Structure 1
Amino acid sequence: MRRLARLAARTPATRERYLDLLRALAVMLVVLGHWAIAAVYYDEQGRPDGHSALTAISWAYPLTWAVQVMPVFFLVGGYANAASLAAHRGRGGDPVGWLLGRSARLLRPTTALVLVLAGGALVARLAGAEPDQVRPIVWFATIPLWFLAAYLAVVPLTPPMYALHRRFGLLVPLVLVLLVAAGDLGRTLGPAWLALPGYLFGWLAVHQLGFAWYDARQGNCHPGGGLGLRTRCLPMSPGTAWAMLAGGLALAVLLTGPGPYPVSMINLPGQRLANAAPPSVALLAVATAQLGLILLLRQRAERWLHGSRPWQAVIAVNSVVLTVFLWHLSAAVLLIGALHGLGALPTPAAGSAAWWAWRLPWVLMLTVVLAILVAIFGPIEARTGRSTARRPPEPGPAGKTTRPRDDTGPRGGGRPGNRWAIGRGVLSVAGFAAVVYALAANGATAKTAPEPLGLPVAALVAYLAGAGALRLLRSGWGSRG
């Protein structure tokens, strides 16, 4: 508690605390949503399995408009990435150094999950479990990684996309939304492959709005005197926020009522036009409404968060927020396995009275299991957050200060240093690409696939190679020639 109090006291007055609250609330909604909507049953082989209960409670589809918080993650991520990139450059760093720093916070907790799951699968195989018994468990535990794959694809694009934002402002997300619409048209009329870039375009559009929020805080809105859609700043007046909320909801209703999109913003089996994979125009309309509501609550939330206790709670959650997200379904796997082993696993039909009655004890028990996992693995993320925090200026001669040096190549400058800087950038992007491929490949592999380590071998190798390369680059490998 004392450390939290010290961190709260040291928080700069200029920090947008509301965004930290949004990140924490979004993760809590994901965790509680996944837990609450789970329906557990026994398959034909007598093994426990699970599925989403949403298919049995269709009246709850509109509620997914509130609990589909992927847009919130990318909005907050856009602001955080713009702020940290600007701070890094202000200290004399380069975009590659910034990218490597971001990789530490994202990949260290993720690597812990991947290694534990692969190691557990190996132990299970040595104990006599068949691959088709191991894969479903690992598949379920790694469901959160599909979001991380999307986010890790967006992060390396932050420097060039922020440069586009500084040049063209809000025109950039508008163009990206039009590209998403073209992909939706391809899904409807063909060719279907036109929708594939939407996995990137849709989340990039929301990420750009995070840039615009950051520039609004900086007060630097109009490039070259440009107005209108070329402004760099997110309009944040109450009138604009109400227009976003009402307009986004109205458009979403039209697209999902008389329009071709499903009402649920969470993908379900049998949907012809899934809203979340890839993100659709309907989901972006809901995201617009969410943004309007977020802006309407902003000033009141900021005042509340300047209280010591609320802000300390937000700091505590954010110090392990990725750990909570990554391990919340592993907690479900462990609880289901324990109850199954004890012969005490309830399997009421989804949507039944017994299923609803089981929600509260189910969530409470999962909270206990997750708390134990966070106590074990949370320090990995917490230490990473402290080690990647902003360094103060280094003392220079005669009491002066100098910016921390960001090594980009061998000392002495010249062409070798330039070549290393380019190679370092290429290797960094390749490392991110390998990790994104690995996480996406795991998500695309069927949960019944006979994978001996639970994860596809090619995906596991790619992940370890990519994460390992980024770790070597962060350590300064090769920077002395």
Structure 2
Amino acid sequence: MRELRSRWSALAAGIEAATPAGRDRAVDALRALAILGVVLGHWLVTSLTAADGGLRGTSPLSHMPWLAPVSWVFQTLAVFFLVGGHVAALGYTSARERGTSYGAWVGQRLGRLFRPVAAVLVLWTVVAGGMLVGGAELDTVRTLVKLVLSPLWFLLVFAALTVATPLVARLSPVWPAVVVAGVDGWRFGLGGPEWIGWANVAAGWLVPFTLGAAWSRGALARRGRLLLLVGGAATATATLVLWGGYPASMVGVPGAPVSNLNPPTLAAVAFGLVQCGLALLARDRLARLMRRPSAWAKAALVNLSAMTVFLWHQTAMMAVTALGLLVPVRLPGLHTPPDSLGWTAARVVWLPVFAASLGLCWAAFRTHERARRSRPAAVTAARCVPRTSVEEKLHA
């Protein structure tokens, strides 16, 4: 134990030394919290039950709708888009000042997003093909592949907004919010076609993205303005859920007639603004916390492999679930229907196992998140994290 503490202290010291002096560490802390919120949320509200020799996807929110507040804590994508808009706006401005072309800037940013995707697609193409050849049920394979690919929609939207940064960086968040309200009014109030709701995929996530860009310009520095944002958005969310007919859950629930997330609704956008406001209110406290080398090292390490963690967390959960099928009985919280508090308690017990499985995925695939280098990178004192990787990726 003492040796582990010593190695961790050395690693934290190495990351501390490699971090630029002027770096806004609170931004990285918010990004890390957003990614971990999504991961834990998926692990808590996604269930694969064993049925008829295969696996079927379901959710405890279908059986226990009163657990909807869980989604309020772990549906943190709005914070990720907030940070993304902030970083993209600052990065593009900095690139222009350095004389870097738009093509070079956007190519670098998209490379960080999509390099790790190729490994996921290749592995699951092989796994899905092998399962079908081996006689697995088509519904089982479809369920698993859907869980793996479902996070990719987020990357596509995030990439599109990143590409559009020069056009949207100075756009007021009010305008995309108005689009979302108009689409919802047409869709739910006037009986418009369901497909029109997908316009909100861009407009809905553009709201926190442009809010992040406004943050980069210093427009959200006043605490009073943030308190007004949180109070107004919270009131709007409560009104929409209690009297507007919107679901209380901020994630999709299998079998529900309306999802707040697919596509985003006005309720999801209002709730996301609450989260963004709270995140911005907490940034000074986070900045103080991140001055501690140990706390900063944890946030930095999540950021160094953010896409790897995001892309492989569902695979990690499914690997544990599949291996559990080798046991002759159904394991509570893993294969049993998510219809009781007992299942919820058992699922919490499984979270460290999912995390260990994700750690193995991280060890195997994290190299795909770093750009290839012609020479080996120097290694920190703990000999775990390439120092050049820290210096390059902990930039924004």
Bin for the TM-score computed over the shorter chain: 0.7 to 0.9
**1:311 and 1:65 mapped to 2: Cα distance?**
26
Report the residue type matching 1:5 in the other structure.
A
Deviation at 1:302, TM superposition (A): 0.7
Residue 337 of structure 2 corresponds to which residue in structure 1?
Answer: 349
2:164 partner SS: helix
1:377 partner SS: helix
Residue 467 of structure 1 corresponds to which residue in structure 2?
Answer: none
Give the 3 Å change call, closer, same or farther, for CA 19–112 of structure 1 in structure 2: same
Residue 264 of structure 1 corresponds to which residue in structure 2?
Answer: 249
Match of 1:386 among 372, 389, 392: 389
**1:71 and 1:33 mapped to 2: Cα distance?**
14
**Which structure has more RCO (C-alpha within 8 Å, separation ≥ 6)?**
2
Residue 89 of structure 1 corresponds to which residue in structure 2?
Answer: 96
Residue 49 of structure 1 corresponds to which residue in structure 2?
Answer: 56
**1:150 and 1:29 mapped to 2: Cα distance?**
19
Report the residue type matching 1:190 in the other structure.
G
Report the residue type matching 1:40 in the other structure.
L
Which of 374-383 and 347-356 deviates more?
347-356
The answer to whether the Cα contact below 8 Å between 2:18 and 2:390 also exists between their aligned partners in 1 is no
Report the residue type matching 1:186 in the other structure.
W
Report the residue type matching 2:351 in the other structure.
V
The answer to whether the Cα contact below 8 Å between 2:19 and 2:391 also exists between their aligned partners in 1 is no
Residue 205 of structure 1 corresponds to which residue in structure 2?
Answer: 207
Residue 190 of structure 1 corresponds to which residue in structure 2?
Answer: 191
Residue 380 of structure 2 corresponds to which residue in structure 1?
Answer: none
**2:328 and 2:120 mapped to 1: Cα distance?**
28
Give the 3 Å change call, closer, same or farther, for CA 90–150 of structure 1 in structure 2: same
Which of 376-385 and 110-119 deviates more?
376-385
| Mapped pair 1:377 → 2:365 | yes
**2:191 and 2:119 mapped to 1: Cα distance?**
41
The answer to whether the Cα contact below 8 Å between 2:179 and 2:200 also exists between their aligned partners in 1 is yes
Deviation at 1:153, TM superposition (A): 2.3
Deviation at 1:213, TM superposition (A): 0.9
1:81 partner SS: helix
Deviation at 1:113, TM superposition (A): 0.5
Residue 31 of structure 1 corresponds to which residue in structure 2?
Answer: 39
Give the 3 Å change call, closer, same or farther, for CA 185–353 of structure 1 in structure 2: closer
**1:357 and 1:10 mapped to 2: Cα distance?**
41
Deviation at 1:50, TM superposition (A): 2.8
Match of 1:119 among 110, 116, 126: 126
The answer to whether the Cα contact below 8 Å between 1:268 and 1:274 also exists between their aligned partners in 2 is yes
The structure with the larger Rg is: 1
| Mapped pair 1:152 → 2:159 | yes
**2:168 and 2:391 mapped to 1: Cα distance?**
23
Superposed CA offset, 1:272-319 (max 9, x none): 442212222211211221122112222111111112111111111111
Match of 1:317 among 290, 302, 305: 302
Superposed CA offset, 1:206-259 (max 9, x none): 11111111111xxxxxxxxxxxxxxxx23x322222222221111111111011
| Mapped pair 1:173 → 2:180 | no
**How many residues are aligned here?**
367
Task: Please list every run of 5 or more consecutive structure 1 residues that lacks an aligned counterpart in the other structure.
Answer: 217-232, 393-481
**1:238 and 1:70 mapped to 2: Cα distance?**
23
Deviation at 1:131, TM superposition (A): 4.6
- Residue identity (%): 33
RMSD over aligned CA atoms reads 2.4
The answer to whether the Cα contact below 8 Å between 2:58 and 2:254 also exists between their aligned partners in 1 is no
Superposed CA offset, 1:341-390 (max 9, x none): 23244233323243133123311211111111111111221456939938
Q: What are the equivalent positions in structure 2 for 1:58-77 lying under 5 Å apart? A: 58-77=65-84
The answer to whether the Cα contact below 8 Å between 2:50 and 2:336 also exists between their aligned partners in 1 is no
Report the residue type matching 1:146 in the other structure.
W
Report the residue type matching 1:136 in the other structure.
T
Report the residue type matching 1:343 in the other structure.
P
**2:145 and 2:83 mapped to 1: Cα distance?**
29
